[in-house]
Amino acid sequence: MTLALDIGGTKLAAARVEGGRVLERLEAPTPTHDRGPEAVTRAVLDLLRPLLPGAKALGVAATGGVAEGKVTALNADTLRGWHGYDLRGALRAATGLPTAVINDADAAAWGEATHGAGRGVENFIFVTISTGVGSGLVLGGHLYLSRHGLHAEMGYMRAPNGTPLELVASGGALDRWARERGWEGAREVVRRAAADPAAEAKLAESAALIADKLADLKVMLGLERAVIGGGLGLSAGYIERVRAALGRLDPLYGLEVVPAALGADAGLIGAAGWAERSLND
């Protein structure tokens, strides 16, 4: 049995994983008063402690850039003070377990590759469209990673107006747009879309921006499939809008777009699988 941990900006999740299945899962909020590395590590260890007996390894999916087990926050508001923090070393020392750490979107991509919507596909991208936009690449059947830890960050690709894609196409962007109109947020935009032309246009704009980047990546990398996850990505009609936007382009840019199969467990399953793989290398 392998332990898995998912460290996000708002939530921590820990699980026992075996054979690509989550056997037991615990959750806790990410500390809000202090999101520094030591405080989050303490919270993580408190969450992990009841799951430790019988574990053979620990796999960690962490938001931010990850290089050689060290984590650097890409968004300072998400995990403050994380710059080259040796998370792998800290957790390995505290638990005594062999530990592997990868980015959370990379972990989800690997989970989908081994047990979800990417099984049997040589080249695909996993994209999560939620508060932000994250992604992971599987090329030639292997998870694509860089030595410096910044890679496959679709959310930081530039939109036509020059800003990062996630600032204009994510659920967070829709939240801001909705609240300017006195609405609750992105969920209300989705609910209103069938009857409100402005809401539908905003969702279609987001989907078209995502599709535009997928089209570029398809011809650049030879992608066969895009696996879409996240709260906004899996909301009613969103994937259909992405498919429609791709369909308006030259057939050269055609790409299969499917929903993620593992839901909120993708990162945990992928992190556990990555730790097991690292043990065998």
20: CATH: 3.30.420.40
Question: d(Cα 23, Cα 273) in Å, to the nearest integer?
Answer: 14
In a domain, 280, yes or no: no
Q: Which among 70, 104, 138 is the end of a domain?
A: 104
Question: Is residue 267 in a domain?
Answer: no
Q: Say if residue 127 is in the same domain as residue 252.
A: yes
Residue 60, classified by CB atoms within 10 Å of its CB into exposed (0-12), middle (13-18) or buried (19+), is buried
Tokens 């609750």 -> residue? 184
Task: Identify whether residues 188 and 69 lie together within a single domain.
Answer: no
Domain shared by 241 and 137, yes or no:
yes
With 0-12 / 13-18 / 19 or more C-beta atoms within 10 angstroms meaning exposed / middle / buried, residue 45 is: middle
Last residue of a domain, one of 47, 78, 104: 104
For residue 111, is it within any domain?
Answer: no
* Token representation of residue 105: 């979107």
Task: Report DSSP state, residue 144.
Answer: -
CA gap 145, 136 in Å, rounded: 9
Query: What strand order describes the sheet that includes 256-259?
Result: 142-143, 133-139, 124-129, 225-229, 256-259
Residue 270 lies in a domain: no
Q: Does residue 131 belong to any structural domain of this protein? A: yes
- 160 burial via Cβ count (<10 Å: 0-12, 13-18, 19+): exposed
What is the residue range of 22's domain?
2-104
- What pLDDT, on a 0 to 100 scale, did the predictor assign at position 74? 84
User: Is 130 in the same domain as 234?
Assistant: yes
Determine contact, residues 71/64, Cβ cutoff 8 Å: yes
CA–CA dist 281, 279 (Å, integer): 6
Which of 273, 243, 258, 270 minimizes the C-alpha distance to 6? 270
Q: Is residue 281 part of a domain?
A: no
Verify that 232 and 98 share a domain, yes or no: no
Indicate if 63 and 153 belong to the same structural domain.
no
85-86 vs 225-229, strand pairing mode: unpaired
Does residue 174 share a domain with residue 60?
Answer: no
Give the model's pLDDT for residue 32. 77
Q: Number of structural domains, the chain?
A: 2
> Are 127 and 253 contained in the same domain?
yes
pLDDT of residue 10: 83
Question: What are the mean pLDDT values of the chain's consecutive 10-residue runs (281 residues total)?
Answer: 93 96 95 83 96 97 94 80 94 97 97 98 97 96 93 95 96 96 95 96 98 98 97 96 98 97 95 91 69
Asked if 72 and 43 sit in the same domain, the reply is: yes
Does 227 lie in the same domain as 100?
no
Q: How far apart are CA 207 and CA 243, in angstroms?
A: 9
Q: Kindly report the pTM of this predicted structure.
A: 0.93
Q: Is residue 13 part of a domain?
A: yes
Identify whether residues 33 and 152 lie together within a single domain.
no
Q: What is the pLDDT of residue 20?
A: 95
* Residue 35 to residue 33: CA distance in whole angstroms: 7
Q: Which of 104, 133, 164 is the last residue in one of the domains? A: 104
* Residue 229, pLDDT score: 96
**Encoding tokens for residue 183?**
């609405």
DSSP label of 191: H
Is residue 92, in this structure, part of any structural domain at all?
yes
**Are 189 and 96 within one domain?**
no
How far apart are the C-alpha atoms of 99 and 4, rounded to whole Å?
A: 10
Task: Please say whether the beta carbons of 3 and 16 come within 8 A.
Answer: yes
